[in-house]
């Protein structure tokens, strides 16, 4: 046998690549292989998907037996392909799309029946979708609209008359039926309006489905943002607490060094208080000077003043008088002229 190095390297490379590709395809399609696959593949037609998606569970009597592989549109109906693990189902099997959780997750429920193995897709007549509230209210409206309240009341009245000779307990029951018929007849229009309004409400809810869905989505975003802000505030509080602990430790460590500085600060404050009193006294003493200075410059852009007693005293020589004005005694408000 030739060693590997002695063989054609191109051929060896091509064979290796082919084996790798084959192994990859086998790994991805293992569940579809007849021998090593994990289950049998089936399909079913439903009138509507009702939110069923690939990956949802397939259950029989509440036990998971497989999963949905694909949900696709086939004309005016929906084709659901699914896999059942290690189990064969009969040709009269029924399939129902049911609600799994309150959040709206669905699953495909099977009710096996039949002696022959299922080889064709389950028809629409053998499948059902989840109960829809708007459709139910609409059906209730149609059913109630078909009732003839007058005939119904007449029927109850005839029944009451027919059983009037019955025993006492039967008579009470018949009287109750008669009163019920009268109540229904008297409230016929109100019941019709109630059912009509319920139908309108269901229609509005169905029309606003996207808005309601967006409202719920926005509510989730708001809750997420509130949660984020809560974490940020929590982190801020933790940081503040750490800072408080650090400051408390700083004050405790430097208490001896800070005491002399605080004492000197108290002395400086006391000195400033004393000087404040002296400054107030000095300002009070400057008031007469300020008043006199203001009188000197108050008549214009010049200094105005006089010297009292600079010349000799007044001379009286007969009718001739010199230096007659005398000095006036200054007054307390800053002097006089």
- Write out pLDDT tens, residues 239-254: 888 888 888 777 777 7
Are 80 and 52 within 8 A, CB to CB? yes
3-state helix, strand, coil split of the chain in percent (to 5) is: 55, 15, 30
9 CB burial (10 A radius; 0-12, 13-18, 19+): exposed
- The closest of 185, 165, 186, 187 to 174, measured between CA atoms, is 165
Tokens of 199: 């139908």
Residue 117, SS3? Answer: strand
H or E element that contains 178: helix 168-186
Q: Count how many Cα atoms sit within 13 Å of the Cα of residue 44 in the half-sphere of its side chain.
A: 33
Distances (CA, A) of 211 to 138, 190, 193, 217, 289: 21, 31, 27, 10, 85
How confident is the model at residue 334, as a pLDDT?
46
As a whole number of angstroms, the distance between CA 93 and CA 127 comes to 9
Q: Which band of pLDDT confidence, cut at 50, 70 and 90, is reported for residue 275?
A: confident
Q: Measured between alpha carbons, how far is 80 from 108 in angstroms, rounded to an integer?
A: 9
Most confident segment among 30-39, 72-81, 127-136, 138-147: 72-81
What would the two tokens of residue 56 be?
A: 């949802």
User: Nearest-CA neighbor of 109 among 67, 151, 55?
Assistant: 67
**What is residue 312's predicted lDDT score, i.e. its pLDDT?**
59
Tell me which range, 94-98, 159-163, 239-243, 310-314, is most confidently predicted by mean pLDDT: 94-98
Counting Cα atoms < 13 Å in the Cβ hemisphere of 161 gives 5
Structure-token pair, residue 179: 């009163």
3-state secondary structure of 108: strand
- Give the pLDDT band of residue 170 (cuts 50, 70, 90): low
Helix (H, G, I), strand (E, B) or coil at 139: helix
H or E, element range at 322: strand 320-322
CA distance 23 to 325: 137
**Per residue in 28-78, pLDDT tens?**
665 555 545 557 889 999 988 888 999 999 999 889 999 999 999 988 899
* The predicted structure's pLDDT at residue 44: 94
What does the alpha-carbon distance between residue 122 and residue 92 come to, in Å, rounded to a whole number?
Answer: 8
The mean predicted confidence, pLDDT, of the chain is 75
Please say whether the beta carbons of 148 and 192 come within 8 A: no
- pLDDT of 155 > 60? The answer is yes
Residue with tokens 């084709």: 79
Which of 117-131, 163-177, 319-333 has the largest mean confidence?
Answer: 117-131
pLDDT tens for 83-115 read 998 788 899 999 999 888 877 789 999 999 988
- Predicted confidence (pLDDT) at residue 335 exceeds the cutoff of 50: no
Give phi and psi for 51, each to the nearest 5: 85, 5
Is the pLDDT at 206 greater than 50? The verdict is yes
């Amino acid at each position: 046998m030739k060693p590997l190095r002695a063989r054609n390297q191109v051929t060896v490379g091509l064979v290796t690549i082919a084996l790798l590709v084959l192994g990859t395809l086998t790994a991805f399609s293992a569940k579809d292989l007849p021998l090593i696959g994990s289950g049998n593949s089936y399909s079913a037609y439903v009138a509507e998907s009702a939110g069923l998606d690939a990956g949802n569970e397939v259950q029989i009597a509440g036990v998971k037996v497989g999963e949905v592989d694909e949900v696709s549109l086939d004309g005016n109906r929906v084709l659901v392909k699914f896999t059942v693990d290690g189990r064969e189902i009969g040709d009269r099997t029924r399939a129902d799309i049911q609600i799994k959780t309150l959040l709206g997750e669905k699953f495909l429920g099977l009710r096996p029946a039949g002696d022959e193995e299922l080889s064709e897709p389950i028809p629409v007549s053998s499948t059902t979708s989840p109960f829809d509230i708007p459709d139910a209210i609409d059906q209730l409206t149609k059913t109630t609209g078909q009732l003839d309240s007058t005939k119904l009341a007449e029927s109850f009245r005839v029944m009451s008359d027919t059983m009037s000779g019955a025993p006492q307990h039967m008579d009470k029951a018949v009287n109750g039926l008669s009163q019920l018929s009268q109540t229904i007849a008297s409230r016929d229009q109100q019941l019709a309006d109630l059912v009509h309004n319920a139908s309108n409400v269901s229609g509005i809810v169905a029309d606003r489905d996207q808005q309601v869905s967006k409202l719920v989505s926005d509510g989730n975003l708001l809750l997420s943002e509130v949660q984020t802000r809560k974490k940020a505030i929590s982190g801020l509080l933790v940081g503040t607490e750490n800072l408080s602990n650090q400051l408390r430790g700083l004050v405790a460590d430097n208490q001896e060094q800070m005491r002399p500085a605080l004492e000197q600060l108290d002395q400086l404050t006391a000195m400033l208080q004393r000087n404040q009193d002296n400054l107030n006294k000095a300002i009070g003493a400057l008031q007469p000077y300020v008043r006199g200075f203001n009188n000197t410059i108050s008549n214009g852009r010049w200094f105005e003043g006089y010297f009292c007693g600079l010349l000799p005293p007044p001379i009286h020589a007969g009718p001739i008088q010199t230096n007659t004005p005398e000095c006036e005694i200054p007054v307390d408000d800053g002097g006089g002229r």
